[in-house]
Structure 1
Amino acid sequence: MNYHIGIVEDDPNIQNIVSAFLKKEGFEVTILNSAEEGLQLWSENPPDMWILDIMLPGMDGYEFCKKIRNESNVPIIIISAKDEEIDKILGLELGGDDYLTKPFSPRELVARVKRLFKRTTPSITPHEDQEKVKVGPLVIYKNDRRLFWDGMEQDVTTKEFDMILLFAENVNRAFSREELLVKVWGEDYFGSDRAVDDLVKRIRKKFAEMPLETVWGYGYRLRFNEE
């Protein structure tokens, strides 16, 4: 399958370099100079992934990310010259799946694109044959990356799915914020552990009845009574 990637970036040099590296790996690429052009593409030929700059003419990348995330869980990688901690946290809180600070290595970006597709692409394993994780009213089909709560399928982002799955596979185990950063964001993520708190906050908002507990001064755990 040739994945289609939309690049929303107004710098011609970055456009050309990123596009060339992605096309070399077999990806179909569409370059957009503004968020407004990106929304037009979204309505006509939605990409399988977005690579998104924050500082854009007109609508900024944060607003664009928010609009896309309100409609879809399509993977979004944010690239930005903004390297302050608050900028990274905001990007991830609004639904970005990854954040790269300029200047960055095109090869590193390609590696992250491949890794994100690998994590988010459903398998073709028959539903009944898939590995299933069940904890109370929570049911997760790992291959299809589908999540059900109390019998109803729920829409979750990549990071939300990864964190809930980690907790579900380790019920009642407390994870430190540092552990969660490594296991959910990867060892190459250098952002603040506040990203963990923000992700937990989003999960709790979607799943008010999920017993996701704070372990004060340490981290979090999913608490279920063992039968």
Structure 2
Amino acid sequence: MNARIAIVEDDPHIQEIVEAYLQKEGYQTVRLQNAEEAWDMWRANPPDVWVLDIMLPGMNGYEFCSRIRQESDMPIIIISARDEEVDKVMGLELGSDDYLTKPFSPRELVARVNRVLKRWEKFQQHTIHEEEGEQSGSDEVSSGDLTLHTSERRVVWQHSEVDVTSKEFNLLEILVSQANRAFSREELLEKVWGEDYFGSDRAVDDLVKRLRKKLPDVPIETVWGYGYRLREHDET
């Protein structure tokens, strides 16, 4: 395998063990001591998967995960000594693809890396096929001040272009294409992440939160106890 895995961990012993097992599986690896180094790497030469500790000096893993998710949906696996449910939920809400509690089996970590990479590859292929299929169809879907240029995967909100990740775009496209329809969290999770996603449906809430931050006043309404819908402007 040619995938490159970044191990962001300040414990050299854990780094060595994780690296040895990943390299045995055929992955390339790079060790990073803190999130600041990881952020520099993200800007210069990003890996295919992040294996990310939470308790890091300086910027912690939660903050790093949140910053990455503002720009990319690439796979992130959190490893942490914090095993409380609230910590796991927070990690998933911030957009991590998986959460492993220390001490963990290195073989299990490798299996989870394999799984997130397969899902990421499937997601990317699905996105490419969607883009190719859209070339022959309408290039735009819109609702009020929100316009999606589907073949170029661009978002224009109130006459300004806004950068979004692939998952953010996919969620917007679902909501805009069927404005006023309420979608359950489970339905959105399956449509955006795929049927084999094993994380919490709180990931949908996080995605909506990110979109609301990037698109102030976008009319995505919460359907309490159910999910979300995009309210059509000037509805009578």
Same fold (TM over 0.5): yes
1:119-151: per-residue Cα shift (whole Å, max 9, x none)? Answer: 35774978x936645122321426x54433345
User: Which secondary structure does the structure 1 equivalent of 2:25 belong to?
Assistant: helix
Cα distance 1:211–1:220, how it changes in 2: closer, same or farther (>3 A)? same
| TM-score, normalised with respect to structure 1 | 0.72
Alignment partner of 1:129 out of 125, 135, 138: 135
Distance change (3 Å), C-alpha of 1:22 and 1:152: farther
Q: 1:92 to 1:207 in 2, by over 3 A?
A: farther
- Going from structure 1 to structure 2, the CA distance change for 1:160 and 1:80 (only over 3 Å counts) comes to same
Structure-2 residue corresponding to 1:116: 120
Return 5+ residue gaps in structure 2 as ranges. Answer: none
| TM-score, normalised by the number of residues in structure 2 | 0.70
Determine helix, strand or coil for the equivalent of 1:111: helix
Task: Name the count of aligned residue pairs.
Answer: 218
**Unpaired segments ≥5 residues, structure 1:** none
Distance 2:157 2:93 in 1: 22
Q: Distance in 1 between matches of 2:225 and 2:73?
A: 34
Per mean C-alpha deviation after superposition, the further-off stretch among 197-206 and 45-54 is: 45-54
User: Equivalent residue for 2:100?
Assistant: 101
Alignment of 1:10-159 (within 5 A): 10=11, 11=14, 12-21=16-25, 23=27, 28-42=28-42, 44-57=44-57, 59-69=59-69, 72-73=71-72, 75-81=74-80, 82-94=82-94, 96-102=95-101, 103=104, 104-120=108-124, 123=128, 129=135, 132-136=139-143, 137-141=146-150, 145-159=153-167
> Aligned partners of 1:83, 1:161: CA distance in 2, in Å?
32
Percent identity over the alignment? Answer: 48
Contact 1:73 1:155 in 2 (8 A): no
Shift of 1:76: 4.2
- String of CA shifts for 1:75-126, please: whole Å, max 9, x gaps: 24132244544324433444x3522324435233222123224435774978
What SS does the aligned partner of 1:163 have?
helix
8 A contact 2:78–2:91 mirrored in 1: no
Distance in 2 (CA, whole Å) between partners of 1:75 and 1:203 is 17
